[in-house]
Amino acid sequence: MSRSILTIDSKALEFNIKSLSKFSKKPVIAVVKSDAYGVGVKHIAKILEGIKEVEFFAVACVEEGLELRELGIKKPILILGGVLKGEEKAIKEYSLTPVVSHPEHLKPLEGLNVPIHVKYDTGMGRLGFLEEIIDDPRVEGVLTHLSSPAEEEFSKKQIEKFKNILKHYKNVKYVHLESSAGVIYKVPYATHIRVGLAIYGEKPLSNYPVQLTQVLSLKARLISVKRLPKGYSISYSRTYKLERDALVGVIAFGYADGMMKSLSNRGKVYYKGKALDIIGNVTMDMTMVDLTGTDAKVGDWVEIVGPHQSFTDLAKMAGTIPYEIMCNLSRRIKREVL
Ligand SMILES: *Cc1c(COP(=O)(O)O)cnc(C)c1O
């Protein structure tokens, strides 16, 4: 009954995890924050739990950790976004592993017997200690985050800085800093990779050396197909005028579903392999496309992401990153796991 479907290929997901792990020669911390990047954590958590290369999960906050436990996840769960007062009870009760990145994060954890990972800011300018060493027997892991993996010189400085910090942590079990793009550095002293985007087959860099398969496809149905005459204007604010008589389709997928408004008059979708221009402004629930030359009918499906374009391709046209588009995929889209 759904007018839009996001299909998740579980075999491809497993292939990508194994491929990333093999490339880096390390097990995986699967980052599934923000409802698994909009894909829907309830649809993929159990699949990931069943893959032996996945040793850890990571989410942004305690609520997301609880959700994983409620879905039956038994593997350890890292809370990347620090610890605030009031969160300690849930951390203990649900066996979550907090990442401490500020002195204030240690206060709620006083007297609590839980493992801790300590985060360093080696050049991200976001979370992390600069050089303070946390001398605490509960510390089982140390991490940092690369701010710009595409920049080799800067990344290597971060990797070197982190190596110096690690001299003070001889007995930790977990050392991690490589995100999807970061895996290209094959950091020899790290024990795990910490990846999100690439597990869905979206390449984080243009010359990405890891072999990946597309996991996600997204399609939506046409709710109207009609001929309109040359000169007719399309959608709100009349930003597009037909240069010829045209067959105009309306897809049941708008910016509320995750079609960025910046794709107005810029993006493309596909019908039976043929590229269709998005014409006029994208609206809340609908997007108009030029179907001229096709035999499309009301009810037919249009590919938004699939064999012809990835979320990364769509993001380039929209002037953003695939993360942002994926995180905005609405609840209204049906999720289907193959
Ligand atoms: C989101 C996030 C990751 C995963 O990044 P990807 O580019 O999706 O692989 C890793 N580490 C931290 C700290 C993050 O916030």
The tokens 């794709």 sit on which residue? Answer: 263
Q: Identity (one letter) of the amino acid at 19?
A: S
Q: Active-site residue 268, yes or no?
A: no
For 117, 334, 335, 337, the CA distances from 7, given in Å and listed in that order, are 35, 8, 6, 6
Task: Verify whether ligand 1 is closer than 6 Å to residue 143 (CB atom).
Answer: no
Q: How far is the CA of 250 from the centre of ligand 1 (A)?
A: 36
Mean pLDDT of 60-86: 97
pLDDT band of residue 1 (cuts 50, 70, 90) is: confident
Task: Verify whether ligand 1 is closer than 6 Å to residue 197 (CB atom).
Answer: yes
Residue 263 has pLDDT above 90, yes or no: yes
Residue 84 DSSP label: -
Q: Which residue in the list 33, 119, 219, 268 is annotated as catalytic?
A: 33
User: Is it true that 10-200 and 216-337 share their CATH fold?
Assistant: no
Q: How far is the CA of 167 from the centre of ligand 1 (A)?
A: 24
Task: Verify whether ligand 1 is closer than 6 Å to residue 145 (CB atom).
Answer: yes
Substitution site in 143, 179, 187 for ligand 1 pocket (most atoms within 8 Å of beta carbon): 179
4-38 tens-digit pLDDT: 999 999 999 999 999 999 999 999 999 999 999 99
Mean pLDDT of 246-269: 97
Longest CA–CA separation in the chain, Å? 74
Where are the chain's structural domains? Answer: 10-200, 216-337
Mean pLDDT of 166-174: 94
**E strand map for 166-205:** 174-178, 192-195
Cβ–Cβ under 8 Å, residues 260 and 320: yes
Residue 143 alpha carbon, nearest atom of ligand 1? 13
Given this model, what pLDDT does residue 146 score? Answer: 97
216-337, CATH topology level = Lyase, Ornithine Decarboxylase; Chain A, domain 1 (2.40.37)
The pair of structure tokens assigned to 275 is 């590229």
Cβ–Cβ under 8 Å, residues 31 and 6: no
130-143 tens-digit pLDDT: 989 999 999 999 99
Q: Active-site residue 236, yes or no?
A: yes
Q: Which residue in the list 92, 156, 236, 316 is annotated as catalytic?
A: 236
211-226 tens-digit pLDDT: 999 999 999 999 999 9
Q: How many CB atoms lie within 10 A of CB 180?
A: 25
Task: Verify whether ligand 1 is closer than 6 Å to residue 3 (CB atom).
Answer: no
Average pLDDT across the chain, whole number: 96
272-306 tens-digit pLDDT: 999 999 999 999 999 999 999 999 999 999 999 99
Given this model, what pLDDT does residue 8 score? Answer: 97
CATH class of the structural domain 10-200 = alpha beta
Mean pLDDT of 84-113: 95
